[in-house]
Amino acid sequence: MSESGLRLVPASGPADVDALVRRVALGDAGAFERLYDELSPAVFGLARRVVRDPARAEDVTQEAFLEVWRGAARFDSNLGKAKTWVMTIAHRRAVDAVRRSESQKRQDHHGHLDEVSHDEPADALIAADEHSAVRTCMETLTDLQLESVRLAYYNGYTYNEVATLLGKPLPTIKTRMRDGLIRLRDCLEGHR
Amino acid sequence: MSIDLHTLSGAYALDALSAEEAAEFEKHLQDCSACRDEVRELQDAASLMGASQATSPSAALRARVLTAADHQPQLRPRVTALASARTRRRGWVPVLAAAAVAAIIAFAGFGVLQDRDGSTDRSPATTSVAQVFKASDARTASIPVSTWGRIRVATSAQNGQMAVDTHGLRQLDGRAYQLWAVRNGHSTSVGVIDDVTTGTVVPIPVAGTTVAITVEPEGGSTQPTTQPIVTMDPETV
């Protein structure tokens, strides 16, 4: 990959991720490269947020993209957007990684709740509008909705664990996760 | 029960269910299209939360991932699912699903079918039968089978692929055609053809391998249990 130092960052207009995945399904390695360039910051950033350790986040990113490469022919656009498909794969990989290794750690730090990181992403090249919309919209959630959604999505906790950490009944947490995401969805639709 | 399950859509979209709960919820999703729509929308929202964390990874990772992908075969599309929708018959769907799983397992670990350069299953596995027939260097043959009908075979050295078109065979009830790579008297399954209208594409076997088709119970067998209805040498196609 001698040209990797020269890689172009898409400057305007996001690539059509659905079309790229359809090309990848046909074994198009060039489309896979473009897909990687388009989505690797999102995948890596998410992995980093969930697993924290940059080296492990890279492993998760690699696993996720290989799963995308391998499974592209099985992606069904009737079931959703390609970008969501990729991010869902990445999130599951990240959560699996953190649950595997942290089941041990959590026993050692019983009851200790990790600070939810507020790191700003370091990368300035990313479509900032969409991301600021997400942040704005997350602020419209109630505290309990926000904490439930965040702890689950960014820390990889199960709703059971979230309920324990927040000292709330399970049905409450289940409902807050759903209500929170619905509110986030509705707010984001307003920002389109 | 269903009300309780329905409220899990948020936790599911956040991957906050245990594996068992997620499996149960997915079962529920199959029968609840409103739930599927909701999950899809909530996953969209969750994935935007993920994307908002974007950070560029190192260039080294890019090289690593692209190289790794280059060395990985791709999974075949789930053609049997589509085929079952088209030719749905009494009691077929679970059988086809089982056969599809068998076919995937059969494809997951075969060692006999290799590209000529020795690397295993290098070519993308997603090419359709028609694409191989249309390849610019395709060689094709129409071969009668011993029972009834004939198959058409195409090989493309450029793609390293062989396509078997089974339109000319009778659709079997309760049994399936299974494709074998036979080398030094040893047979390795390379796929089960559940639906004769779909056929199959496999990598061209190494020289000295013949390809045989037998009729097997639905889902396929681990070794041939009947005499081949056709045997061919891909080299001579």
- The three state secondary structure string of chain A is CHHHHHCCCCCCCCCCHHHHHHHHHCCCHHHHHHHHHHHHHHHHHHHHHHHCCHHHHHHHHHHHHHHHHHHHHHCCHHHCCHHHHHHHHHHHHHHHHHHHHHHHHHHHCCCCCCCCCCCCCCCCCCCHHHHHHHHHHHCCCCHHHHHHHHHHHCCCCCHHHHHHHHCCCHHHHHHHHHHHHHHHHHHHHHCC
**Nearest neighbour of A177 by CB, restricted to B11, B36, B50:** B11
Residue ranges for chain A with pLDDT beneath 50 = 1-13, 107-126
- From chain B, the residues in CB contact with A182 under 8 A are 10, 42
At B127 the pLDDT is 60
Task: Please report the pLDDT score of residue B171 as a whole number.
Answer: 76
Q: Which of A64-68, A122-126, B164-168, B204-208 has the lowest mean pLDDT?
A: A122-126
Mean pLDDT of chain B: 74
Q: How many CB atoms lie within 10 A of CB A76?
A: 10
Mean pLDDT of all residues in B120-146 = 67
DSSP lists the bridge partners of residue B151 as B143
Does the structure show a pLDDT above 80 at B53?
Answer: yes
Reference B212, options B185, B174, B172, B194; nearest CA is: B185
Over residues B182-202, the mean pLDDT reads 78
Mutate to test the interface with B, among A32, A120, A177 (most CBs of B within 10 A): A177
Which chain A residues are Cβ-neighbours of B101 within 8 angstroms? none
B120 or A160, which is more confident: A160
pLDDT score recorded for residue A6: 44
- Written as six digits, the tokens of B163 are 């396509």
Give pLDDT tens digits for B8-33: 999 999 999 988 899 889 888 888 88
Worst-scoring range by mean pLDDT, B56-65, B72-81, B83-92? B83-92
Residue of B nearest to A64 (CA): B65
For residues B220 and A4, the model is more confident at B220
pLDDT more than 70, % of chain B = 78
Min Cα distance A112 → chain B (Å) is 19
Which chain B residues in 52-71 lie under 8 Å from chain A, judged by CB atoms?
A: 52-59, 61-70
CA-based nearest residue to B40, from A183, A39, A81: A81
Q: Which among A73, A178, A162, A2 has a CA at the least distance from the CA of B59?
A: A2
Nearest CA in chain B to A82: B44
**Comparing B3 with B135, which gets the higher pLDDT?**
B135
CA distance B117 to A87: 36
Give pLDDT, residue B197. 74
Looking at residue A185, its pLDDT comes to: 96
